[in-house]
Amino acid sequence: MRDRVDTAMVARLATLRPDGAPHMVPVCFARVGDTIVSIVDAKPKTATALQRLANVRSNPVASLLVDHYDDDWTQLWWVRIDGAARVVDEGDEHRRAVAALVEKYPQYRDVPPRGPVLLLDATRWSGWRYAG
């Protein structure tokens, strides 16, 4: 499962709004041990105070879904990572997260992202793949 997660370029992050409603967004991410890291980067957004960050600050429960679709259904798979999430604005964890993201995404190499980092500390990994 970790190998599939490491090579995937996009995932869907699910958090809970303060009213308990689900909130899901696609994210760029990297894995640092059993922690998934994502960052607020410079891609255009409608707001800088992102809902996912507010959600995690009020309720740290989150899931990340990484999947692969193919018209050849024998190639299908998904991995879900559940855990406790938190937001980090600076420090060693922030630097390690940025380094992992810069290594994974060439788009970040010229101008590394500086925004808040969302860390998802995995407590459960689950997945499925076509096993014919």
Tens digits of residue pLDDT in 63-96:
999 999 999 999 999 999 999 999 999 999 999 9
CA-to-CA separations, 63 to 13, 22, 102, in angstroms, rounded? 6, 11, 23
Q: Looking at residue 46, what is its pLDDT? A: 64
Q: Which CATH superfamily is domain 2-129 in?
A: Electron Transport, Fmn-binding Protein; Chain A (2.30.110.10)
What local confidence, expressed as pLDDT, does residue 41 receive?
82
Q: In what order do the strands lie in the sheet with 77-88?
A: 22-27, 11-16, 61-68, 77-88, 117-129, 35-39, 30-32
Low-confidence stretches of the chain (pLDDT < 50) are: none
pTM, entire model? 0.92
